[in-house]
């Protein structure tokens, strides 16, 4: 469905470029993308996405020729920061050299082993993991950005693909990833499908032929977590969403 929509948009741009004879400035054609989405048991689609990106490069320092990186939030190295609101933004390119750093307009990041029940006990009924047992969210915001760097180096980088597993998407078209190019222009926005089973997981991933993604804005539903904030499925007004695994193409130096 998402693939068809992207192709439809591409077609519109192509028509505009062909018929606009008076204007020498041609509208750039958006790059073709492969988009994968899943809801419910997302395992097969996540594996398909991993295979499309290539072999796992783990925490190997330095830019690798091919392959992918993945953050599952579960490693022992993160334990000192778990269930706190100060998870280091650059943990996954310093302690673990995976080429990912995060920013948020909120007040921090939280890597959580209790389905965020320490923030609000009701969350234990809302959120589940894809990879046992840690899941992640920004603090004080429902948005964060993932930027890419060459693994183990503070060198800006770009990636050819990005995929993410969400927990508890209840409202359509509100949990999204927006991809930005190196020049700051928007490449695309893609929505995750709503949850469809008791586990409540959703996946969206996108891959381009070239490494063109410099930044990914992750928008989690319509509200941020809080002691007195309940999910829309539990008497609240906001759709609260957190996430687990992020999978992305090998970060390549953008210079």
Q: Which of 188, 159, 179, 175 is nearest to 9 (CA)?
A: 188
- Output 57 or 128, the one with its CB closest to Ca ion: 128
Q: Least CB distance from residue 244 to Ca ion, whole Å?
A: 4
Contact between 128 and 104 (Cβ < 8 Å): no
DSSP element (H, E) containing 58: none
Which residues does 23 contact at the CB level (< 8 Å), separation at least 6?
A: none
Question: What minimum distance in Å lies between the beta carbon of 226 and Ca ion?
Answer: 14
Closest contact distance (angstroms) between CB of 114 and Ca ion is 13
Strand partners, 63: none
Contact 247, 162 (CB under 8 A): yes
Between vectors from CA 239 to CA 235 and to CA 37, what angle results, nearest 5°? 135
Cβ proximity to Ca ion: between 91 and 180 the closer is 91
Distance (Å, rounded) from C-alpha 110 to C-alpha 90?
Answer: 13
Cβ nearer to Ca ion, comparing 23 with 125:
125
Nearer residue to Ca ion within complex by CB, 64 or 72: 72
Of 139 and 169, which CB lies nearer to Ca ion in the complex structure? 169
Distance of closest approach, residue 111 Cβ to Ca ion, in angstroms: 9
In whole angstroms, the minimum distance from the beta carbon of 3 to Ca ion comes to 26
User: Which residue ranges make up the site for Ca ion (CB under 5 A)?
Assistant: 72-74, 129, 131, 134, 168, 170, 231, 239-240, 244
Which pair of tokens denotes residue 43?
Answer: 């395992």
């Amino acid at each position: 469905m998402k693939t068809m929509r992207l192709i439809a948009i591409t077609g519109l741009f192509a028509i505009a470029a062909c018929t606009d004879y008076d204007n020498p400035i041609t509208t750039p054609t958006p790059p073709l993308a492969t988009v994968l989405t899943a809801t419910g048991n997302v395992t097969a689609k996540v594996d398909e996405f991993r295979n499309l990106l290539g072999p796992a490069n783990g925490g190997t320092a330095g830019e690798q020729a091919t392959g992918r990186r993945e953050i599952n939030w579960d490693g022992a190295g993160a334990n000192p920061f778990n269930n706190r609101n100060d998870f280091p933004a650059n943990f996954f390119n310093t302690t673990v050299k995976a080429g990912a750093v995060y920013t948020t307009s909120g007040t921090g990041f939280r890597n959580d082993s209790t389905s965020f029940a320490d923030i609000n006990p009701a969350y234990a009924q809302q959120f589940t993991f894809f990879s046992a047992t840690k899941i992640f969210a920004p603090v004080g915001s429902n948005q964060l950005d993932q930027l890419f760097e060459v693994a183990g180096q503070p060198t800006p980088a770009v990636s050819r693909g990005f995929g993410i597993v969400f927990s508890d998407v209840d409202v359509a078209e509100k949990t999204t990833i927006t991809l930005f190019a190196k020049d700051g222009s928007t490449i695309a926005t893609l929505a995750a499908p709503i949850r469809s089973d008791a586990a409540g997981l959703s996946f969206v991933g996108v891959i381009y032929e070239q490494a063109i993604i410099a930044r990914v804005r992750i928008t989690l539903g319509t509200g941020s977590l809080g002691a007195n904030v309940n999910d829309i499925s539990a008497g609240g007004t906001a759709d609260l969403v957190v996430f687990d695994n992020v999978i992305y193409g090998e970060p390549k130096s953008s210079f």
